[in-house]
Structure 1
């Protein structure tokens, strides 16, 4: 699996779900379970690369404006939501997080379930139920793709008073006046 195939799977599931994350999750699991185990593992690794790519102070700023706060788990789940929106939204937001103002209608966006689709698909495909080092998460960790520890947030930190000018569209839509 390559990056193009990864985004095709994400985009197909997003379109099929029509805004229902449970359907999106189930669609992802079913699509991945059709693939060879090594492709499911690669999906997990590419997902983790994108989660690490999105670990940026500008994305933290966007979530701060949208949700009013940022902490470790919600920040990770927000990045999962961002990946789950598909390649076009993800790429635009990485380049310019203010583009999220056109995509979001409500705060508190997360897609924690995305973290588990490869494992569920791997279990379904292989019949294995006891997670070991051959599972997608184990392989990804062995490759150093850990979105929890060892990752350094990219970009420059900011202060709250910078947010209105930093991301004016998001501030206008979600910020506190």
Structure 2
């Protein structure tokens, strides 16, 4: 599976199922019918794609959407959620984080308190586990820790790519309204800092 096939699969998943749980179930079932190497390749593509989001400007966009509350884990899950938005929106957001303002899923969050986001929460942690679960189904050995799967991923990826992520760009303070308005003009209007309404 290459990156283009990965995005085709994610788009098909979006068309086939509504809601994150249904999409995960569809994706898990689809992947579990594929060869083991292809399941591993899905995870490698997911890792490669989400790594493209490791940029301080996207961290700032996430912080803006979350009202300044965005931990490292929140940002990781936010990147996975962005994958779920589809390749076109993801690609535009990587190039211009303010383009997230065009995503219907982001528009649905505006004017609402983060406490009321519920199913609309902009994070999708479980996407990172779907390949491991599918691998367990495909091999008939569902390992809750996914040790065999992770060993297969490491073997396919190669140890040279293992390591701590590095965020590109320069860190900046999303609470600096002048800077935020310049860098994220639409998201700054949509998600005013300190607004919990």
TM-score by length of 1: 0.90
Does residue 173 (structure 1) correspond to residue 172 (structure 2)? The answer is no
Using the alignment, how far apart are the partners of 1:123 and 1:83 within structure 2? Answer: 23
Q: In structure 2, list runs of 5 or more residues that go unmatched.
A: 115-120
Q: 63-72 vs 38-47, which deviates more?
A: 63-72
Q: Note closer, same or farther for the CA distance 1:73–1:124 as it changes in structure 2 (3 Å cut).
A: same
2:165 to 129, 138, 151: 151
Q: CA RMSD in A?
A: 1.8
Aligned residues: 173
Q: What's the secondary structure of 1:49's corresponding residue?
A: helix
- Give 1:94's aligned residue: 94
Structure 2 counterpart of 1:10: 10
List structure 1 segments (4+ residues) > 6 angstroms apart after TM superposition: none
1:101, distance to aligned residue in structure 2 (A): 0.8
Structure 1 contact 9–31 (Cα < 8 Å) conserved: no
Task: Tell me the secondary structure at the aligned position of residue 169 of structure 2.
Answer: coil
Matched, 1:48 2:47: yes
SS in 2 for 1:116: helix
1:111 correspondence with 2:114:
no
Quick check: 104-113 or 66-75, which moved more? Answer: 104-113
1:141 to 1:57, Cα distance in 2 relative to 1, 3 A: farther
> Which deviations, in whole Å up to 9, do the C-alpha atoms of 1:30-67 show, x marking residues without a partner?
11111100000000011011121111101101101100
Q: Secondary structure at the match of 1:153?
A: coil
Q: What whole-Å deviation, never above 9, does each CA across 1:71-94 have from its counterpart, x for those lacking one?
A: 011111000000111111110100
1:67 maps to what in 2?
A: 66
Shift of 1:132: 5.8
In structure 1, runs of 5+ residues without a counterpart are none
Q: TM-score scaled by structure 2?
A: 0.81
- Structure 1: distance between partners of 2:65 and 2:32: 34
1:115–1:53 distance in 2 versus 1, CA, 3 Å = same
Question: In 2, distance between residues paired with 1:31 and 1:17?
Answer: 12
Contact residue 164 and residue 175 of structure 1 kept, 8 A? no
Distance (Å, rounded) in 2 between the aligned partners of 1:167 and 1:62: 7
